[in-house]
Structure 1
Amino acid sequence: MDYTLRFLIGGIVVSLFAMVGDVLRPKSFAGLFGAAPSVALATLALAFAKHGGSYVAIEGRSMMLGAIALAAYSAVVCQLLMRLNWSALQSTLAALVLWLFIALGLEQVLIG
């Protein structure tokens, strides 16, 4: 039942985000408002219904920390690919270490 609800909620929110993305210029922003935010919102809504607000607060914080680490990862991969002409495999593997370090470091700063 959870998967059905997640599918329905996610589908509705994906459609809403797609409409917002369709209005924005340039069109490359449309992808930002695609599946990821809607799946996150559907997941948080289901978690709230099942576990309550404190659980959802922790989940939401974890999603934000992961997004910060992903932004750093993406920036580093771009720089390694464009400036140093590394291969895609080398760039992603090197940046993966950075992503893990940032994600765990942010978690320790907030928890510790």
Structure 2
Amino acid sequence: MTEYILRFIIGGVTVSAFAILGDMLKPKSFGGLLGAAPSVALATLGIAVVQHGPQYAAAESWTMIYGAIALGCYSLAVCHLLMRFRLAALTATIIAFAVWLVVAFGLLAGFGGSA
């Protein structure tokens, strides 16, 4: 239970710091970009280092990187499906989800990591 409270506090402080930073930058959309995901990832990695050691946190960080690469591929696929092929949003996201799965698990299988 204390892990969740600690994650909540660290995540909240980091989200607030990123929101302040994003508010100072132009354009204002950086606030959303620098919002929750980086701060939750940092809080999770910090807790992983304390509880399981640096090797475990390193493996966990690689799986986060694989997920981020897969998300980039997913986003690119959605953009192409929406703009080039004029698919409906729901259809494009369902098709692109398959892209995310293939890229994420392909990277995990190809380069290793803990799932």
Q: What's the TM-score, normalizing by structure 2?
A: 0.92
Structure-2 separation of matches of 1:91 and 1:55: 36
Number of corresponding residues:
112
Once residues 4 and 54 of structure 1 are traced to their aligned partners in structure 2, the CA distance between those partners, rounded to angstroms, is: 24
Structure 2 portions without partners, runs of 5+: none
Dislocated runs of 4+, deviation >2 Å? none
Cα distance in 1 for partners of 2:25, 2:75 equals: 23
Query: Which residue of structure 1 aligns with residue 103 of structure 2?
Result: 102
**Corresponding residue SS for 1:27:** coil
2:35 maps to 1:6? no
Aligned with 2:87: secondary structure?
Answer: coil
Identity across matched positions, percent:
54
- Between the aligned partners of 2:46 and 2:54, the Cα distance in structure 1 is 10
Which residue matches 2:59? 58
1:45 corresponds to: 46
What is the correspondence of 1:6-85 to structure 2 with a 5 Å cutoff? 6-85=7-86
Q: Distance in 2 between matches of 1:7 and 1:99?
A: 28
1:45-95 deviations in Å (ceiling 9; x for gaps): 111111110100010000001000000101110111122111111101111
SS in 1 for 2:90: helix
Shift of 1:18: 0.8
Cα deviation 1:92-111 (Å, max 9, x = unaligned): 11111111111111112212
